[in-house]
Chain A
Amino acid sequence: MKTHDLTPPEQWLEDYGDVLYRYALGRVRNPAVAEDLLQETLLSALKAQQNYSGTATTQTWLIGILKHKIIDFFRQKGREKEDTLDPQSSEIEQLLFDHEGHWQQALSNLPEPENAMQQAQFLAVLESCIDRLPGRLARVFILRELENLDNDEICQILAISSINNLWVMMSRARLQLRHCLEIQWLKH
């Protein structure tokens, strides 16, 4: 098995600062928090240098530490307050469905981005739509779709009382994201 050498700590920020910062920012959606998590990650890494086994590249190793910091941050956020989850209908569901549960308005097809520039614009729109999700829905969505954690882990991290609630939240997050994309991306 190929082993890797640890890049000297003096170079970490230079070599991996942007990658780590973007990774954190894409998930916590807040520059100040992303900076803090990056700093904590490098501090932890500095203390844990001896444990580096060489099975991963320095970047992968650092991202692994950062992932833990991000999850810890989400866990704290999750404990702050349990939003009441209305089992019947949420704002987004009331907006999109009529009283019989049919779509209020015809959904449009979302055009696929055709080139790199459109792709970049699409991503920018998508990010702004994620930022419009209520915090708790955004955290559930990010842990699921970006971090690929499984249902049980997410419930545990975010203190969600049942797996069904998680599915309800994911469904609402997707409805809202899609609705936001339809408005923002088609307007483009």
Chain B
Amino acid sequence: MLNCKQASFLASKKRDSKLTKTEVIALWSHLLMCRLCRRYVKSLDQLHKTFSVKDKMTENLPGLPTSARKRITDMLKKMQQSSHDEK
């Protein structure tokens, strides 16, 4: 019989890879009996769902700081200028 630690590992592995038949059966029979591990699997699904919404994760983040914007603008100008000069 699996313990919860082993079951949590297989539940996680299942997200990244195909489980072997033995692993599938072991995990499944553990989950049948263990409410906490079923909860764990459910929260992994929730987590995955959050990440799979394309770039949901980054919407919240701050934009490019003004100082960096200016620095990069100047740098790009300089670059373009020098490539023009070469021609």
Contacts and interface: CB of A to CB of B under 8 A. Distances in A.
B49 to A, nearest CB: 9
Given A97-B5, A151-B16, A26 B57 contact: yes
Contacts of A151: 16-17
Contacts of A103: 4, 36-37
A144 interface: yes
Q: Is the interface of B mostly helix, strand, loop or mixed?
A: helix
Q: How many B residues are at the interface, by size bracket?
A: 35 or more
A126 interface: yes
Interface in A83-134: 93, 96-97, 100-103, 106-110, 112, 120, 122-124, 126-127
Contacts of A13: 64, 69, 72-73, 76
Contact of A17 (B43, B59, B69): B69
B58 A26 contact: yes
Nearest to B39: A107
Given A13-B69, A22-B59, A174 B3 contact: no
Contacts of B83: 46
Given A126-B47, A170-B12, 18 more contacts: A10-B80, A22-B59, A22-B61, A26-B57, A26-B58, A38-B68, A39-B72, A97-B3, A97-B5, A100-B3, A102-B3, A102-B5, A108-B39, A109-B43, A110-B43, A127-B61, A167-B17, A174-B47
Interface of B: 3-6, 8-9, 12-13, 15-17, 36-37, 39-40, 42-44, 46-48, 50-51, 55-65, 68-69, 71-73, 75-76, 79-80, 83
